[in-house]
Amino acid sequence: MKIAVVQMDCIPGDVTANLDKIRGWIYQSAPVDLIVFPEMVDTGYVMPGEDFGRSHPAFEEKVDIIARAARERKMQVIAGLSEQLDDQVCNVAVLVDKSGDLMAKYRKIHLYAPSGEGAFSAGNELTTFPTGGYTAGLMICYDTRFPEMARSLALAGAEIIIVPTAWPFPRVEHWQLLSRARAIENQCYVITANRVGKDGDAVFCGNSRVIDPHGVVISSASEDREEIIYSDISREKLDFIRNRMPVFEHRRPDIYLQDALFASEKD
């Protein structure tokens, strides 16, 4: 399975210009099965109440613009978008298939309040879907800090975890470590598409990457440039790593899920 990851900047609030950039990257890409974009690439990482672009295309129109390009290039597209629901705004990631159909939508579960994401409406459901003979799951940015979520996706069958992101520079080391940790502990591929550039005071750290189930970074981008990186996903490597070290067979959920994970909630 051939993967492309787009690392790009956005113009805050200019949805039309950002959608044009997304289309441009799709047409520029080499032929792949799946192309992945960062978090909130339609509006930029701006919060409700700021220049959020509400006068720009509706969510369905934004998806349709991406879908037409996906259909013409015959590739699946994952992109982070904003979705207006009445007086609520959701931070979402969508999967559009090669036919241009919306096949999956994930609403970000863990919202990062210090950046203003408390103004968003949080999601409540995990999302997995078939792609290229694999099962994949979606997380968005801050979700990466919650190992329970990645493990839940893996237990639901995910062999690839895809993470559109807008991660800033002050915590770049965390980003590099956490993304590799999620791959190692769940023995799955992790694909991260991060922003570059600046929105307000936030300067994004790039470092988009594809990580194999052994935690090896097999493709990576710079920290400050717009670019596209490519990688191949290998069923043979995935199965070899999981068979050689069958950690899922050795789990003891009868102990730690009941007695440790929820101890604070019992108190």
The CB density around residue 265, as the number of other CB atoms within 10 Å, is: 6
> Which of the following is catalytic: 21, 62, 83, 141?
141
Q: How far is CA 96 from the centre of its chain?
A: 14
Q: Using DSSP, how many helices (H) and how many strands (E) does the chain show?
A: 7, 14
- Determine whether 188 is an active site residue: no
Q: State how beta strands 202-203 and 227-232 pair.
A: unpaired
Find, among 163, 165, 197, the residue nearest to 10 by Cα.
197
The CB density around residue 243, as the number of other CB atoms within 10 Å, is: 9
Distance set, CA 59 to CA 74, 114, 130 (Å)? 22, 26, 23
- Determine whether 108 is an active site residue: yes
Instruction: Round to the nearest angstrom and report the end-to-end CA distance of the chain.
Output: 47
> Which of the following is catalytic: 10, 21, 39, 62?
39
Q: For residues 23 and 192, give the distance between their C-alpha atoms in angstroms, rounded to a whole number.
A: 19
Q: How far is CA 100 from the centre of its chain?
A: 19
Beta-ladder partners of 231: 3
Q: For residues 189 and 182, give the distance between their C-alpha atoms in angstroms, rounded to a whole number.
A: 9
CA atoms within 13 A on the CB side of 115: 18
- Determine whether 141 is an active site residue: yes
> Which of the following is catalytic: 108, 117, 159, 188?
108
Active centre residues (catalytic): 39, 108, 141
